[in-house]
Amino acid sequence: MSTIRHTTRLLRGSRLRPSSFRFTQTRPLTTTPKVDLEAPTAPIRQPPNANSVHFPGALNSQFTSTMSFHAPNATPSLPTYRIMDTNGEIIDTSHTPTMDAEGMLKMYTAMVKTSIMDMIMYDSQRQGRISFYMVSSGEEGVAVGSAAALNPEDVIFSQYREQGALMYRGFRLDEFMNQMFGNRLDYGKGRNMPIHYMSERLNVHSISSPLATQIPHAVGAAYGLKREGEGRVVVCYFGEGAASEGDFHAGLNIAATRSCPVVFICRNNGYAISTPSLEQYKGDGIASRGIGYGIETIRVDGNDIWAVHEVTKRAREIASKEQRPVLIEAMTYRISHHSTSDDSFAYRPREEVESWKRRDDPITRFRKYLENKGLWDSSKEEDLRKTVKKEVMNAFMAAEKERKPRVREMFGDTFKEETPVLKKQREELKRVVAEYPNEYDLDAFEDGKDGL
Amino acid sequence: MATVRAVFRNGLRHARILKQQPTASYSSVASADRKFNKPIDYATSTYLAHSPATALANKELSEEVRKTSTTKKMNLFQAINDGLSTVLDRDEKACVFGEDVSFGGVFRCTMGLQERFGGERVFNTPLTEQGLVGFAIGLAAQGHTALAEIQFADYMFPAFDQLHNEASKMRYRSGGAEKFTSGRLLVRMPAGGVGHGALYHSQSPEGFFLGCQGLKVVIPRGPIQAKGLLLSAVESPDPVVFMEPKILYRAAVEHVPTDYYTLPIGKAEILKPGKDITLISYGTLTYACEMAAKHAKEQLGLDVEVIDLRTVHPWDRETVFASVNKTGRCVVVHEASRSGGIGESVAGDVQENCFLRLEAPVARVTGWDVPNALQFEDFMIPDVCRKFPIHQPFQWIANTINRYL
């Protein structure tokens, strides 16, 4: 029965085209949505003597009488776009950066600030002052360069190694610290592990540990923005390891079929914890897959902040103006350990890491550019580092001193309203805590035992 | 057109051949000798409203709806369709999507919606459950109303990560930030036995959600509930999984108010008050409970209280405890396997909260702890007498009473 109906639909496709949208609803959208998604209007059939196959699944495929399997290695690897070399010299002169000095220094400051916060927080985890941390060294260029190309209203979904993007957007040091200490000021009310940031103010969705789940979220959110019709886009970050998850496939495929204004940014840093990319995939990185989904794709040098910035700017424009997805694969190297729970020298040589650090670091490269331009020098560098260290330490000390949230926050927000079951369980805990006050560290929590 | 006609002609010829067969070989037919395991007669069930007056007598409806609404005879899929179209009509930010929903859905639940509301708001997604549920979560988190469909509850599992790790924890991990919740998410999925659905078109996976905090699971038993609970679920600030008993799509027919109305989520409904035993179920098996209660009255003189949970997670403890504290006996009935099913949760909480009043252990009449096998469905799904060695009618009730009285 369904086959019959389906055929009927194709033959009379125009009958099914959306005729008009209704605007008498209770929650009006701001502008008229413009969506180009319609049922096929013409029947799909094989014209007589045609040399191309009109199979519905591949409309533009030509017949051939040469049997040839398409070998992946027969196609050259997709090139990596760069604007400046490792000495900070511009190579692609057609793309001379046009940003003013203030803008450039804002990017540079965000990178340095990120790397200093990383260093301090890494050490503080080693001292047992926070439970966990993830450093982003080597990848500050991808995060900051891309964030700088976005509008503040654009929505960000991230994985966890994109603190540079938050830093650039204006997530304050106290906000970072409150989250990491899970204190009473943390927006997530101390429920999530450190580095799982979020910001309503900055349109950054809460980070969750399950990898790649945010990819289809980003696509759904982008579809929402498409319907709102204001030209906002979604940016979705993930690593090359996460791209092996089914949600990557699902997300990119829906983004393409529903033409969603989303920019996917893959940080290909060579490792997923201990797994080198050689064991992650056999194709030409992540970029080659984008083409398979019918998504415009580019590979970029992730240690070149200008290249990342320009590419993201253009991708944003495509997504916003043409309302379709774009995939950016930013090639970089994970200089840091995966996390504070990982010693990466167990699976890669120390020299490899040292060589990347010395040879090609996004911060050093950009610093050279700024110095070449006469915008930066070693005394400015010293001042910046000194100031930032002080700022980070101040925020650190303040956040560490804050009490943890009220204990009752453990039960809140599970559902919008507390269910009778949860109320009972909260009261049960309250009774236990009242009976054995010395067994629990209640003073660390706001309002102590009364916080339940 | 020629092609369509040809296909259609062949279809008719095929249908004629099938018609000559005395019965379809894949479905069993009740023998005339059966006393108890007869097909449910939905046309006479008192759990469905067979007249406009009965439909509007429902005290859970608002005064206004009861006074002014007209009603229309609908089956379950039509009521779902009515519910969805009501949402799309009232809320411009609502979208309906899933696999094959554009042409009306494989169970006709989305019929006519694309024609009426356009391809932008009612559309097919690629065939990926994790993708379409993830998409729905993102859309909802952007402040839109996401009405997603999973074609069969059996295929919910690829999306389980998205439902359990993401949808259910979004509000919690965002510290209650209204901007980032997935409250406006509704995931519909046909569930339950259908006579010949076998392993992957019969499952009742509601028990898997018991460990999933932050998500509600609703199962309607008929058209009035389907529409009212669906509209509530959309308005609910929490994400809702909505399991539709697919065997009732065409079978359960009743008069449904045509106005906008809601029914409470998280509240059980006492379908028939009684004093001797509490019979708890939801969805399709509420009708088997109705028959069992009737026979128990006739054969054993028992006054059975029948409760429809409606929201199976988190289920309504208050109503159930009050009932069991009154009757002293409790039987839970569901299609899903016993282990990990809703019955375990009910039995555990009832014994903890009604211990002094319980006169018998809580009994569970459920599917066996096996997958749903094609040829054995009659033996899997709890029926009116559940064929145990002794041919005692209404074994579930009788057993509970006889063994422990």
Return the higher-pLDDT residue of B5 and B318.
Answer: B318
Q: Distance (Å, rounded) from C-alpha A323 to C-alpha A316?
A: 10
Q: Is the Cβ pair B161, A22 closer than 8 Å?
A: no
In order along its 452 residues, chain A shows pLDDT tens digits of 343 333 333 333 333 333 333 333 334 454 444 455 555 556 666 667 776 667 788 877 888 889 999 888 888 999 999 999 999 999 988 888 889 999 999 999 999 999 999 999 999 999 999 999 999 999 999 999 999 999 999 999 999 999 999 999 999 999 999 999 999 999 999 999 999 999 999 999 999 999 999 999 999 999 999 999 999 999 999 999 999 999 999 999 999 999 999 999 999 999 999 999 999 999 999 999 999 999 999 999 999 999 999 999 999 999 999 999 999 999 999 998 999 999 999 999 998 888 888 888 999 999 999 999 999 999 999 999 999 999 999 999 999 999 999 999 999 999 999 999 999 999 999 999 999 999 999 999 999 989 99
Q: What angle do CA A351, A306, A221 make, to 5 degrees?
A: 100
CA distance A211 to A338: 14
Split at pLDDT 50, 70, 90, the class of B297 is confident
Q: Span B152-172, mean pLDDT? A: 97
Q: Are A399 and A117 in contact (CB under 8 A)?
A: no
Residue A132 lies in a domain: yes
| Cβ-proximal residues to A117 (8 Å cutoff; 6+ apart), any chain | A163, A167, A173, A176, A392
Span B95-111, pLDDT tens digits: 999 999 999 999 999 99
pLDDT at position A355: 87
Residues A393 and A436 in one domain: no
- Residue A44 sits at the chain B interface (C-beta within 8 Å): no
Residue A419 in contact with residue B316, Cβ under 8 Å?
no
Q: What are phi and psi of A110, to 5 degrees?
A: -60, -40
Report the CATH number at residue A104: 3.40.50.970
Same domain, A397 and A282: yes
User: CA-based angle A172:A174:A180, to the nearest 5?
Assistant: 110
Identify which of A276, A266, A355, A357 has the alpha carbon closest to the alpha carbon of residue A308: A266
B interface test, pick of A17, A26, A414 with most B CB neighbours within 10 Å: A414
d(CA A95, CA A90): 8
Chain centroid to Cα A156, Å, comes to 6
pLDDT at B150: 98
Q: What is the DSSP string of B95-147?
A: EEEETTTTTT-TTSTTTTHHHHH-TTTEEE--S-HHHHHHHHHHHHHTT-EEE
Nearest to B131 among A155, A224, A253 (CB): A253
Q: What's the total number of domains in chain A?
A: 2
Q: Indicate whether A331 belongs to any domain.
A: yes
Are both A183 and A279 inside the same structural domain?
yes
Instruction: Say whether A11 and B158 touch across the interface (CB within 8 A).
Output: no
pTM of the model: 0.90
B99 to chain A, any CB pair closer than 8 A? The answer is no
Range of A11's domain? 3-27+74-401
Statement to judge: residues A412 and A395 lie in one domain: no
Q: Report the DSSP beta bridge partners of residue A236.
A: A157, A264
Pick the residue from chain B with its C-alpha nearest to A193.
Answer: B173
Which three-class secondary structure state does DSSP give residue A392?
helix
For residue A96, the SS3 value is coil
* Same domain as A433, residue A296: no
Q: A81 and A113 share a domain?
A: yes
pLDDT band at B24 (very low <50, low <70, confident <90, very high): low
> Which residues in A158-278 belong to E strands, given as ranges?
234-239, 262-268, 271-272, 275-276
Q: Which of A16, A46, A191, A213 to mutate to test the interface with B (most CBs of B within 10 A)?
A: A213
Residues of A in contact with B109 (CB under 8 A): none
- Sorted by where each starts, the structural domains of chain B and their CATH numbers stand as 24-40+268-403 (3.40.50.920), 58-257 (3.40.50.970)
Q: Is B264 on the interface with A (CB under 8 A)?
A: no
- Is the pLDDT confidence value at B392 over 60? no
Annotated catalytic residue within B99, B166, B201, B290: B201
Are A427 and A305 within one domain?
Answer: no
- Are the beta carbons of B126 and A186 separated by less than 8 Å? no
Positive or negative: CA dihedral B76, B81, B82, B86:
positive
Q: Do A224 and B100 touch (CB under 8 A)?
A: no
- Closest partner CB to B180 (pick from A23, A205, A253): A205
Question: How many helices (DSSP H) and strands (DSSP E) are in chain A?
Answer: 13, 9
- A246–B128 C-beta distance less than 8 A: yes
Give B44's contacts (C-beta < 8 A, 6+ positions apart). Answer: none
Residue A103 one-letter amino acid: G
CB–CB contact A216 B130 (8 Å)? yes
In a domain, A337, yes or no: yes
Mean pLDDT confidence for B319-341: 95
d(CA A189, CA A209): 17
DSSP B310-376: SEEET--HHHHHHHHHHHS-EEEEEEEESTTSHHHHHHHHHHHHSTTT-SSPPEEEEE-SS---GGG
Residue A421 has what pLDDT? 95
Task: State the Cα–Cα distance between residues A188 and A203, nearest whole angstrom.
Answer: 15
In the prediction, which pLDDT does B105 show?
95
Write down the pLDDT at residue B11: 46
pLDDT at A29: 53
Instruction: Please check the confidence at residue B18 and state whether its pLDDT lies above 80.
Output: no
Q: Evaluate if residue B74 carries a pLDDT over 90.
A: yes
- pLDDT at residue B381 greater than cutoff 90: no
pLDDT value for A52? 63
Pinpoint the alpha helices (H) of A345-377.
Answer: 350-359, 362-372
Least confidently predicted of A104-118, A199-213, B366-380, B386-400: B386-400
Contact A205 B3 (CB under 8 A): no
pLDDT of residue B399: 61
Is B166 an active-site residue? no
CB B185 within 8 A of CB B97: no
pLDDT of B377 > 90? The answer is no
Can you tell me the distance from the alpha carbon of A332 to that of A80, in angstroms, rounded to the nearest whole number?
A: 11
Cis upstream peptide for B158 (omega within 30°) = no
ipTM score for this prediction: 0.90
Residues A302 and A437 in one domain: no
Is the pLDDT at B12 greater than 60? The verdict is no
Q: Does residue A51 lie in a domain region?
A: no
Q: Are B364 and B343 in contact (CB under 8 A)?
A: yes
Query: Is residue A36 assigned to a domain?
Result: no
A237 plus A119 within the same structural domain: yes
User: Does position B149 have pLDDT exceeding 90, yes or no?
Assistant: yes
My answer on whether A325 and A308 are in the same domain is yes
CA dihedral angle for residue B95, residue B100, residue B103, residue B108, rounded to 10 degrees: -90
Q: Is B201 a catalytic residue?
A: yes
In a domain, A11, yes or no: yes
Q: Which of A206, A215, A404 to mutate to test the interface with B (most CBs of B within 10 A)?
A: A206
Q: Please give the pLDDT value at position B298.
A: 84
Cα–Cα distance, B77 to B222 (Å, whole number): 10
Q: Are residues A185 and A306 in the same domain?
A: yes
A154/A287 same-domain check? yes
A56 reaches B (C-beta below 8 A)? no
Interface touch A254/B125, C-beta < 8 Å: yes
**CA pair distance A16, A19, nearest whole angstrom:** 8
Structure-block tokens of residue B381: 């799904």
> Is residue A255 situated within a structural domain?
yes
pLDDT value, residue B3: 44
B145 pLDDT exceeds 80? Answer: yes
Residue A40 lies in a domain: no
Chain A residues within an 8 Å CB radius of B161:
210, 213
* pLDDT over threshold 90, residue B4: no
**CA-to-CA distance for A378 and B329, rounded, in angstroms?**
82
Contacts of A29 in chain B (CB under 8 A): 92-93
Determine, for residues A18 and B114 on separate chains, whether the beta-carbon distance falls below 8 Å. yes
